[in-house]
Amino acid sequence: KNEVEQSPQNLTAQEGEFITINCSYSVGISALHWLQQHPGGGIVSLFMLSSGKKKHGRLIATINIQEKHSSLHITASHPRDSAVYICAVREASGTYKYIFGTGTRLKVLA
Amino acid sequence: DTGVSQNPRHKITKRGQNVTFRCDPISEHNRLYWYRQTLGQGPEFLTYFQNEAQLEKSRLLSDRFSAERPKGSFSTLEIQRTEQGDSAMYLCASSSPFSVEAFFGQGTRLTVV
């Protein structure tokens, strides 16, 4: 079992729909990142969370430390949101390296 | 400071050739990480530097791979005798000892033909 699990793996939505991507992890963490990766492109950090909730534009990220779960929501989705969204958790000790989920491939249709 | 910079952004090489990638972290970030992302997978940890010391290496880092951070600033990742299986996105990240946040570079996409 992977230490970071994302669901769904693939998601197709119609423009305007509300989208939720989930991330569950099994290790102790100091922070959690949501990252966005466009085809052929590099990685862009959307949010860094250690508790609670953050909002940026149409994007909302929440984390529940006790349940070891985070969600990324996209409101009023748009075709330009089509990308791979990756959850990454940072270890709470040691080298503090990141462990990544395998990503959720989102396609938003016009 | 413009963030973590990686060069080149793209590299196409013939099988058997050596390649070197460079990562310039954010100034004064003493922690530097290399990750590798193959198609359809999330990034996987390769190696970690604290200042100039390489403190952890993944088993993914075969003998053909070597990473350095000679002065505790920029880092290089070299792959010798490249194989088609080395085709991937190589990501660098850096962080400060005073923050839980790491900053990611845009990555170097390697294609071995």
Who wins on pLDDT, A43 or B5? Answer: B5
CA distance B29 to B4: 10
CA distance B86 to chain A (A): 16
A-chain residues near B33 (CB < 8 A): 95, 97-98
The stretch B13-41 carries a mean pLDDT of: 94
- What single-letter amino acid sits at B18? N
What is the band of B101 on the pLDDT scale with cuts at 50, 70, 90? Answer: confident
Q: Is A106 exposed, middle or buried (0-12, 13-18, 19+ CB in 10 A)?
A: buried
pLDDT digits (tens, 9 = 90+) for B37-80: 998 888 999 999 999 999 999 988 889 999 999 988 999 999 99
Residues of chain A with pLDDT under 70: 1
3-state class (DSSP) for residue A5: strand
Q: For position B16, what pLDDT does the model report?
A: 97
Do the chains contact at A50 and B100, CB–CB below 8 Å? yes
Residues A86 and A105: their CA atoms lie apart, in Å, by: 9
Q: Does B42 contact A97 at a Cβ distance shorter than 8 Å?
A: no
